[in-house]
Structure 1
Amino acid sequence: MGTRELLERTAETAIGWLESLDGRPVGASAGVEDLRARLGGPVPAGPLDPLAVVDELARAVEPGLVAIPSGRYFGFVIGGGLPAAVAADWLTSAWDQCPGLYACGPAAAVVEEVAGAWLRDLLGLPERASFAFVPGCQTAHLTCLAAARHHVLRARGWDVEERGLAGAPLIRVVLGAKRHVSVDRALRFLGIGRASLVVVPDDGAGAVRVDRLREAVEKDSAPTIVCAQAGEINTGGFDDLDDIADVAERTGAWLHVDGAFGLWAAASPALRHLVRGAGRADSWALDTHKWLNVPYDSGLALCAHPDAHRAAMSVTADYLVQGGPGDPREPMDWTPAFSRRARGFAVYAALRSLGRDGVAELVERSCAHARRFADGVTEIPGCRVLNDVVLNQVLFRFGDDRTTDLVLRTVVESGEAWISGTTFDGRRAIRLSVCNWQTSENDIARTLRAFREAVGGVRRRDGQKNAGPRRRRVS
């Protein structure tokens, strides 16, 4: 079978998967041992027809697939895939461009240049800000914080790219107690360990206490990076970015914003107030595979100081063909990767298909669904919603930890929805995240029904258990 027939069959398989989402269980049905048995075995001895390979792969993995593109997948703030973005991503694989250098993929480099500028404008960030297409927010933090490290040490007369960290002035990083762990991990990669972190308590709703942050920053004159958050992972709460920017500007600290999903509020006129002051930061990290709904993986790092960004990331070698007529933007100057996927095509397609108004509507509709779910779940006896639903996150629990976990497991095992558990303030909770373009009112209604049925089933089982064995009547 030729390439055309293979790709047509593959497209049919992919379309079948997407069309099955509304009726199939959201969670996987196969366990790890089953999947190992389906996929494992010795290295094949000889070649096999590509069509057979793809057909067998699709059959083998199908029970282990999670219906992440479904409108009833509410776990981990994971978006779906807009049709235009999925189609562009298929073409990205077929085109097989490498956007490390302009010379390797001129169109891939230019589409990143255009899409990055569109995103910068959409989110209300400074026109001077540089940007980099990266796998996700983890690498975006790494990129931004590398630029921050360069900047704060350069201000003290230390060239970290030339001299490394040995003997350098110690960097302090001031951040909130409810920060995302990917920030710590990025700092660790950059040689900034836990001993350099100054952790500031939160206000109980996930936002950092600005008064305590101000005290921490002003307490020491060491080179300082402040990490703020737009959208706490459990509550969706926002740090007061405007007040924190005041602190950073007054003290000369670098302000980095973790905006993985929350920074998308800037695209909505109705929600933009949540990120007031974000444009005053020095760097921003976000995911486009979340609320923009492009396929995994796709993130963006932006920096208000292009010189620091470029100094931290750029590389040269005799064999690299860089520059050329028209002064093209060299993607390698801004990212930590040489070889990588041309992520700009899918982002470009998503933005073209939605437009400014469509992105705003998608964000606002997701938040409305979250509020609708919160209103509905509070009507279930024993349920308590733990957060003000300011964005797309609903945090709730049922009585004690055991009941909460049991209700969650029952809903997930029903296949009606996939939702993640969490721990908040030392107790178990359930976190529902809405950011999929396909989520509908019906999806919210089905998920609420699944929770009502799960709670009823747990109560019946507990009632039977507590009732104990019935005594036989003696006549």
Structure 2
Amino acid sequence: MHSVSDDARETIDGVLAYARSRALFADVPLDKPVTPDELAAVASGSITAGGIGSQAATTLFADVLAPTCLSIDHPGYLSFIPSAPSKAAIAFDLVVSASAIYGGSWMEGAGAVFAENEVLHWLAAEFGLPVGAGGVFVQGGTIGNLSALVAARDASRRRNAELGRTNPDRWKVVCSSEAHSSIASATEVMDVDIVAVRTGADGRLHGNAVVAALDEHGDSVFAVVVTGGTTNFGIVDDIASVAAVTKARDIWLHVDGAYGLAAMLVERMRPTFAGVELADSVIVDPHKWLFAPFDACALIYRDPSHGRAAHTQKAEYLDTLTDRPDWNPSDLAIQLTRRARGLPLWFSLATHGTDQYRASIDHGIALAREIADEIERRDGLSLVRDPQLSVVVFRREGWSMAEYQAWSDRLLDDQVGFVVPSSHAGEPVLRFAIVNPTTTMELLTEILDTLA
């Protein structure tokens, strides 16, 4: 399996040929899932004592397994939050695996860590964070949010110890009622309580609501989480007013910008995110609106020493790493072994430049506004809320959830698009999440036409 042989060359050539053809598809297939029984009937039996050979395995994947996996990079994939990795990022993801790089420590992966840090420092500067801010690429927003909150609680514990204060019986996190589900998941893992604060009429969390929550729950709150672009609507909380409160009360402010914070790269959108520069930690997922492949979340600390204090693992066999003043990514989040998952983004940024990224993100924002205007012009359709970023939520008047689901199934069966129903305040709705720069107004209007 590990020798450089004719079989190895054939395996690598075959896999690379398939990867090349898939990455260069002129017309990306949308594809669709099948039932477990249907897949078992045509794909079972690939694991054998002697192996089926690389050619048969590649063919099985390409012809049978892959077509049952939705193509997230299809321009008609408009559900959840899509991914649209650049060709450069896709190509370099292969290089990362082929290079067998360990990205957990400077000692073992100095060049990879340096390149990742170039990206993290650029992002930190774009978000207005001070020189010295830094962090690590982790698996996704869930791990990023959890790691940030663990660091926040650890910082509160240490501050209480320095001041001779007693820790509360139960720690608490304040966030909006529209916060991502990963915040609730993180509090479950940490065994702390969540204080979900109602948003204002505009769907945003505001400072005055946070003040009321802090007055009620006192010193038990160790962090406040604001959202830089909710998943369902793309709404950005009133970060500036919340930041003013957390700064005055010396409470950790975390910005969950997994989807939306990338919009800060567009100059005209920066005022929407005022206050991010005061955050103690932020996350943004490059596999969403920064055109990197799965999976990557950039976790950035205002002061990385808090991350190291909370997350550095101690063991005799790790002393050779932790006794050095090196920048070890594994010390900054809930992980030890880690892939250098920030390198595909680094390569794509280095290849194309930041201006191309700004333009590609701006495309999604502008297209959301354009299709929202078209929805408003059509009889039988109406917006639920004006889009703030690139998520457009709308309704087909009079339809039930069952009717939405039947329409969604037909759309996928016809290979036009993937648009699943969502809901808001108990009402079934539809939403376009526009991330892919190859998504066009023509495609979106074609989808709207099927709702007539």
Establish whether TM, by shorter chain, passes 0.5. Answer: yes
Cα-to-partner distance string for 1:285-330 (whole Å, 9 max, x where unaligned): 22110111111001111112322211111013222331799x5421
Moved more, 236-245 or 350-359: 350-359
Paired letter, 1:200: V
Q: Give the conservation status (yes or no) of the 8 Å contact 1:124–1:266.
A: no
Structure-1 separation of matches of 2:63 and 2:421: 30
Which residue does 1:470 correspond to in 2?
A: none
1:224-243 → structure 2 map (5 Å cutoff): 224=221, 225-243=223-241
Structure-2 separation of matches of 1:8 and 1:121: 41
Q: Secondary structure at the match of 2:161?
A: coil
Q: Give the conservation status (yes or no) of the 8 Å contact 1:27–1:417.
A: no
Q: Give the conservation status (yes or no) of the 8 Å contact 1:123–1:264.
A: no
Q: Secondary structure at the match of 2:75?
A: coil
1:402-413 → structure 2 map (5 Å cutoff): 402=401, 403-413=403-413
Q: Tell me whether 1:292 sits opposite 2:296 in the alignment.
A: no
Which residue does 2:128 correspond to in 1?
A: 124
Paired letter, 1:107: G
Q: Give the conservation status (yes or no) of the 8 Å contact 1:289–1:298.
A: yes
Which residue does 2:430 correspond to in 1?
A: 430
Note the C-alpha offset of 1:270: 1.2
Paired letter, 1:252: D
Q: Tell me whether 1:184 sits opposite 2:184 in the alignment.
A: yes
1:83-102 → structure 2 map (5 Å cutoff): 83-102=87-106
Q: Give the conservation status (yes or no) of the 8 Å contact 1:82–1:437.
A: no
Q: Tell me whether 1:11 sits opposite 2:11 in the alignment.
A: no
Q: 1:258 aligns with which of 242, 251, 256?
A: 256
1:419-458 → structure 2 map (5 Å cutoff): 419-439=419-439, 441=440, 444-452=441-449, 454-456=450-452
Cα-to-partner distance string for 1:253-297 (whole Å, 9 max, x where unaligned): 211111011111211111111101111011112211011111100
Structure-2 separation of matches of 1:446 and 1:20: 18
Q: Tell me whether 1:66 sits opposite 2:70 in the alignment.
A: yes
Structure-2 separation of matches of 1:158 and 1:418: 54
Q: 1:389 to 1:315 in 2, by over 3 A?
A: same
Which structure 1 residue ranges, 4+ long, deviate > 6 Å from structure 2?
none
Larger Rg: 1
Q: 1:107 aligns with which of 107, 111, 120?
A: 111
Which residue does 2:3 correspond to in 1?
A: none
Q: CA RMSD in A?
A: 2.3
Paired letter, 1:132: V
Which residue does 1:322 correspond to in 2?
A: 321
1:28-427 → structure 2 map (5 Å cutoff): 28=32, 30-41=34-45, 43-157=47-161, 169-192=169-192, 196-224=193-221, 225-320=223-318, 321-322=320-321, 328-399=326-397, 400-402=399-401, 403-427=403-427
Structure-1 separation of matches of 2:31 and 2:379: 26
Structure-1 separation of matches of 2:66 and 2:351: 30
Identical aligned residues as a percent: 25
Q: 1:6 to 1:168 in 2, by over 3 A?
A: same
Q: Give the conservation status (yes or no) of the 8 Å contact 2:168–2:219.
A: no
Q: 1:376 to 1:144 in 2, by over 3 A?
A: same
Q: Give the conservation status (yes or no) of the 8 Å contact 2:116–2:342.
A: yes
Note the C-alpha offset of 1:119: 2.0
Q: 1:75 to 1:323 in 2, by over 3 A?
A: same
State how many pairs are aligned.
Answer: 441
Q: Give the conservation status (yes or no) of the 8 Å contact 1:72–1:416.
A: yes
Note the C-alpha offset of 1:16: 2.8
Consecutive unaligned residues in structure 2, runs of 5 or more: 1-5
Moved more, 65-74 or 29-38: 29-38
Structure-2 separation of matches of 1:155 and 1:324: 24
Note the C-alpha offset of 1:449: 1.4
Q: Give the conservation status (yes or no) of the 8 Å contact 1:98–1:104.
A: yes
Structure-2 separation of matches of 1:116 and 1:203: 33
User: TM-score w.r.t. structure 1 length?
Assistant: 0.87
Cα-to-partner distance string for 1:129-170 (whole Å, 9 max, x where unaligned): 2311100110100110011011122222289xxxxx9x7543
Cα-to-partner distance string for 1:3-36 (whole Å, 9 max, x where unaligned): 3333232222223334446263x24153332223
Note the C-alpha offset of 1:451: 2.8
Q: Secondary structure at the match of 2:78?
A: coil
Cα-to-partner distance string for 1:193-230 (whole Å, 9 max, x where unaligned): xxx22221112443124322221113342132111111
Structure-1 separation of matches of 2:171 and 2:219: 6
Paired letter, 1:322: L
Q: 1:209 to 1:244 in 2, by over 3 A?
A: closer
Paired letter, 2:437: W
Structure-1 separation of matches of 2:289 and 2:367: 14
Q: Secondary structure at the match of 2:379?
A: coil
Q: Give the conservation status (yes or no) of the 8 Å contact 1:293–1:437.
A: no
Q: Give the conservation status (yes or no) of the 8 Å contact 2:127–2:276.
A: no
Q: 1:313 to 1:58 in 2, by over 3 A?
A: same
Q: Give the conservation status (yes or no) of the 8 Å contact 2:117–2:134.
A: no
Q: Give the conservation status (yes or no) of the 8 Å contact 2:206–2:239.
A: no
Structure-2 separation of matches of 1:189 and 1:150: 15
Which residue does 1:467 correspond to in 2?
A: none
Note the C-alpha offset of 1:43: 4.1
Structure-2 separation of matches of 1:254 and 1:235: 25
Structure-1 separation of matches of 2:353 and 2:21: 28
Cα-to-partner distance string for 1:34-65 (whole Å, 9 max, x where unaligned): 22333334841223322322222222213202
